[in-house]
Structure formats: structure tokens, C-alpha cells
Chain A
């Protein structure tokens, strides 16, 4: 039996295994006598195989906890709830720092930290305190117990300083921040090169839980989440992927 030349659609469907068995056999027989077209079809199949080779390793990676939480219905951070947080969190973005934001973030893209109070608060606090040479913190890590006891008492919630030594970061110390309607705590970490990270904790949210989110504000990258009524935000100027690694460790340390 001779078959007329299969059209392009038929050839793609053949390459993708989307033909019925009889039709598949017909095309295969035609291709057996038309090597140029057969090579083209084989090339398409090689493209698909190469995609599997390049991207299948992702299948074996651990799925980030934030995605598991989201899939199991863990209070998604919809835009609505973000704006709910906006109402609840006032923060030192008022006044002096408000001017800082207004002056430096006039062309706000939808995903920048400026629209997300928790992330913005954390990013601004990072920008203000991380470059500080002489007084980066109020209480140093040499008084760690006192620091954490004091902040825990003021926030009415146990404040934990996650151990980030395995990632190369030492606790520098911390400070109390004031906001419109509640206190916040800022813990600062530093690596051997002087690169600083800050972990911001606020008691000032009525959210129960959100998944991990990312925002950036003025070159400060922030991963933030809300857990049991407390907002957490890890800020730094290091690349997003590296910050995510640290944020994942922080999250695990706080949720053992």
C-alpha cells in the first residue's frame, strides 16, 4: 500500500505519538522511504527528549515547604489579605521613613515591597540599620539571653534567634522597633565578609498564616511570611536564590 505524503499536522502527531495505531504504521512506512522527512521528524522527537534531559531534574528536587502549605490550603496570601495586613500594620514608615519610601519608589511595579507593609517595613528597617557601623543594634549578641528575653517580653511572644552559623552567619544583636500600633523586633546577622541580613518580627498583624512570599524594595530583597499572628521577614541585599536558602533555614528553625 502506498500512502500520499502526510501533511505537516500528521507528521507532528506521529512524532508526538498522538496517532491511532493504524495511522501511525502508515506514516512510519512512508517515512521509511523518505529519509529527509524522517530526519526532520526524528529531530522534533530529539527536541522533546532534550527538554526532558534539561528539565526533569526538577522533579527530583524537594518541593519547597511554602508550596506544600499552599496546596494543603494553608491560608493563601491573596491580594485581599495583603491589604488586610496593610490596615493592621502602621509602622515607622510614617514620618521620616515615609519620606524615604515616597522619595525612592515613585514608579512602583505591582510586586515591589512598597505595596506590602510587612515586607516594606522589613526592607526599610534593613536599609536604615544594616549599613550602620557603630550602632547597628541596641543589644549585642554577647547579651543574647537578655536580648531575646527583652524582645519576647515586649512583643508578648517568644522571640527566637535562629542559628545560622551553618550558613556562615553570626548573630550581631537586635533592636526594638516602634510602629503605629505595636512593637517589632529586628535581629541582625553578619557573615565573615560583613554581609548583613536582618530578620524582622512583628506582632502587628491579624493574619493567621501566609505562605512564603518574595518582594524587593530598593535593592533589598525580602522573603516574608505570617505564622500564628506574627509576621516574619528576612531581608538582605544578597541574590534572591541565596536569600531563599537562608529564609528556608530560618523558617525551619522557627517551625521545628
Chain B
């Protein structure tokens, strides 16, 4: 059985992960909510151990099943999501907005691996479990994702916010 307060304690981190993954707070919270609901439905299957890694596993599955499919249908509104994300970070330095923009420009696979390693500090073996891929895939994907992020950061001109048309 999962302690409700243990779940509550994970909510800020799940929101952070969802926010970084989707680039949009409201959609992130929908993803977190669906993840929590799935966790409660599947509580009997939880073997104990690392609750956070288990929740991230469920979140990954919900994300793959639902959000990617919606994104494919959504099309044009993606631009809005990125715009919102940038306004959220408006109090941060330009570098942080650039980081978010670069992250959102990556493929979802690359974004996930970077977040699980860099933000969630999961061990590679745990990440293989979360994503349900072999550890070799974790390592090759991580390497490519870091190269891609570097290219995005170097390639993206530091556009001033004023040029952004809403």
C-alpha cells in the first residue's frame, strides 16, 4: 500500500519533471494528475523500493501513451506552449530561457534522458527500468542527447524577448 503523504511529498518533483518535459505548467499538472491516479490504481503492484523511480516509470508510460499522441494532433498550438514556457521563466536570466528553449527543441527521448540523469539524479540502471530499455541504450541515448543539447545551446542565437511577437 502506498502512503498518501509519501505521494504528496513527491508532487513538487513530479511537477518539476513534467514542467521540464512538456514546457508548459498546466499540461504538466495534467500529466502529474494522470500519473498519480494511475499510481493509486496500480498501488497493489508496487513492490516497495524507490517510490520516485516507480512514479517516474508510470509518468513515462502516461507521457508516451497520451501526450505524444495529443501533440501529434495538436500541431500549431505547440508554439503557444513554448511561448508560455518562456514567459514563465521571464524573471530568470536569458541563459535559463535559452536552456528551456533548447530543451524543448530536443526530441522527447533526449529530453527525458537528460532530465532523468541531470535533474532526477537516477542511477543509469534505474533509468533503464523507468524507460524500459537496455542500459546500453541509456548510455548511447544520453551521449547523443548531451551532444544535441550542446548544439542547440550553441546554435540558438540569444534573441532578445522584444523580437518575440505574441
A and B co-occur in one complex? yes
Contact A59 B114, CB 8 Å, known A53-B92, A54-B99: no
Contact A109 B70, CB 8 Å, known A59-B13, A71-B7: yes
The stretch among A27-35, A43-51, A92-100, A113-121 that forms the contact with chain B is: A43-51
The distance in angstroms between the C-alpha atoms of A212 and B30, with both chains bound, is 9
Indicate if the CB atoms of A12 and B114 lie closer than 8 Å. Answer: no
Q: Nearest CB to that of A7 among chain B residues?
A: B139
Indicate if the CB atoms of B8 and A48 lie closer than 8 Å. Answer: no
What is the number of residues of chain A that contact chain B, defined by CB distance less than 8 Å?
45
**Chain B 7-27 interface 0/1 with A at a Cβ cutoff of 8 Å (1 = within):** 110011101100110000110
The distance in angstroms between the C-alpha atoms of A73 and B3, with both chains bound, is 10
Q: Chain B, interface size: which category? A: 35 or more
Asked if A110 lies at the interface with its beta carbon under 8 angstroms from chain B, I say yes
Contact A51 B115, CB 8 Å, known A8-B139, A66-B33: yes
- The residues in B between 43 and 76 inclusive whose CB is less than 8 angstroms from any CB of A are 66, 69-70, 73-74
Indicate if the CB atoms of B11 and A71 lie closer than 8 Å. Answer: yes
Indicate if the CB atoms of B19 and A76 lie closer than 8 Å. Answer: no
Q: Which residues of A contact B133 (CB under 8 A)?
A: none
18 additional A-B pairs beyond A8-B139, A211-B33, beta carbons within 8 Å, are A12-B143, A12-B146, A48-B118, A50-B96, A50-B99, A53-B92, A54-B96, A55-B20, A59-B12, A67-B36, A71-B11, A71-B36, A111-B70, A211-B37, A212-B33, A213-B30, A214-B30, A244-B26
